[in-house]
């Protein structure tokens, strides 16, 4: 099932998400819905707060980027579920990369982040995993991980740049943005 994506201005995007246990209601269905929603919207990652669940869960699918980043073949099969993740180490260099977000439609800005991370998480079967990620895979995960702490990529750009994009952010707040996927705006009544 395709879920509406909550966009910039909605309170759920600013909440600190909480860890979950395997008995979280209809978790399997939620994960499937998140994959369906992400893929329909042509995204490479989707965090649970973006579909109005303030829980520490996100899904990724890097396949869309595989043709653009041929030296990172691991993107092709980078389709995963991350539950209760914890980035235990950031390493490598600081690099700039143009990011977008399904919750901030139509906006792309360079964000500086580290190139490598070490992450511990539970997979969809609640089996503990530990991975070292680099390049675009690490970038996708760091962006989604931020969502679990209520952080958006526009929080990580300079104040000057943020002023420059204020008009675009206001357009989202005023519901003057259109996409080919379902969105839920701040002014609409939210069901929690």
Residues at the interface with Zn ion (CB under 5 A) = 101
| Nearest residue to Zn ion, by Cβ distance, number only | 101
Q: Kindly state the smallest distance separating residue 44's Cβ from Zn ion, in Å.
A: 10
Nearer Cβ to Zn ion (75/152): 152
Angle at CA of residue 27, ends 143 and 57, nearest 5°: 15
Q: Which residues contact 79 (CB under 8 A, 6 or more apart)?
A: 59, 60, 61, 62, 63
Cβ atoms of 102 and 74 closer than 8 Å: no
Nearer Cβ to Zn ion (83/101): 101
Q: Kindly state the smallest distance separating residue 107's Cβ from Zn ion, in Å.
A: 11
Nearer Cβ to Zn ion (21/81): 81
Question: Which residues are part of the catalytic machinery?
Answer: 144
Q: Which residue carries 């740049």 as its tokens?
A: 161
Other beta carbons within 10 angstroms of residue 59's beta carbon come to 27
**CA–CA gap between residue 182 and residue 170 (Å, rounded):** 19
């Amino acid at each position: 099932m395709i879920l509406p994506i909550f966009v910039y201005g909605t309170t759920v995007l600013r909440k600190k998400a909480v860890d979950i246990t395997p008995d979280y209601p209809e978790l399997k269905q939620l994960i499937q819905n998140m994959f369906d929603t992400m893929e329909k919207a042509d995204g490479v990652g989707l965090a649970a707060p973006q579909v109005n669940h303030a829980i520490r869960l996100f899904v990724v699918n890097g396949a869309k980027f595989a043709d653009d980043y041929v030296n990172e073949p691991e993107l092709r099969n980078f389709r995963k579920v991350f539950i209760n993740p914890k980035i235990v180490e950031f390493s490598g260099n600081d690099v700039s990369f143009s990011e977008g977000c399904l919750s901030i439609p139509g906006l792309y800005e360079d964000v500086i982040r580290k190139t490598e991370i070490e992450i511990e998480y539970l997979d969809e079967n609640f089996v503990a995993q530990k991975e070292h990620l680099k390049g675009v895979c690490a970038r996708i995960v760091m962006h989604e991980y931020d969502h679990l702490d209520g952080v958006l990529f526009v929080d990580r750009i300079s104040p000057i740049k943020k002023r420059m994009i204020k008009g675009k952010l206001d357009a989202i707040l005023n519901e003057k943005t259109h996409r080919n996927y379902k969105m839920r705006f701040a002014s609409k009544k939210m069901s929690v």
